[in-house]
Amino acid sequence: MKIYTRMGDGGETGLLGGRRLPKNDAIFELLGNLDETNAAIGLATSYFSNGRFPTKELHRIQETLLAIGSCVADSDPASAPVLSVLEKMTDSFEKQIDQWDKTLPPLKNFILPEGVPGAAALHYARTLVRRTERSYYRWEGAAQTLPIGRYLNRLSDYLFQAARYANHLENHPEQIWHS
């Protein structure tokens, strides 16, 4: 399969079902943000080769982001299978966040988004999820696919706490923001 087709050279891109839309359509902003978020999470996982941080969930998130992208690209997004599992996955984020909360120092101040390389990458991925969430709500299909919005909202919380946990595992102290 060729990587290039030249079909997008005129400013349009094809979607599932043969639809072609201008490259500046809101759907492509959302798809690009999902892709960028996924790549940032992939970068974060590359820093956790020592096995101390649980990357299995990060890989599952990457797969889910691809499924969400497929849903968004579909001409009938409301029927996408991923929508039926997002609520359960969102709930699992909350459970993991609560579990990490038990091992982390209480958060009493804003902290700087930094730390060991994996944690810093998770913080960066979190900011991309927030951007993805904003572009999701600009997309015309958002009303049909509301579980995606809830998933993205909680994913950013999950990644924030995951970054804190990664720093904790490496005994890297959180840097408090001093205004």
**Extents of the domains making up the chain:** 12-169
Cβ-contact 115, 169 below 8 angstroms: no
Q: Which of 93, 129, 98 is nearest to 113 (CA)?
A: 129
Q: What is the pLDDT along the chain (179 residues), one digit of tens a residue?
A: 788 878 778 888 888 888 888 788 999 999 999 999 999 999 999 999 878 888 999 999 999 999 999 999 998 999 999 999 999 999 999 999 999 999 999 999 999 999 999 999 999 999 999 999 999 999 999 999 999 999 999 999 999 999 999 999 999 999 999 98
Nearest 5 degrees, angle CA 57-CA 60-CA 66?
145
CATH superfamily of domain region 12-169: Cobalamin adenosyltransferase-like (1.20.1200.10)
Q: Per the confidence metrics, is the pTM higher than 0.85?
A: yes
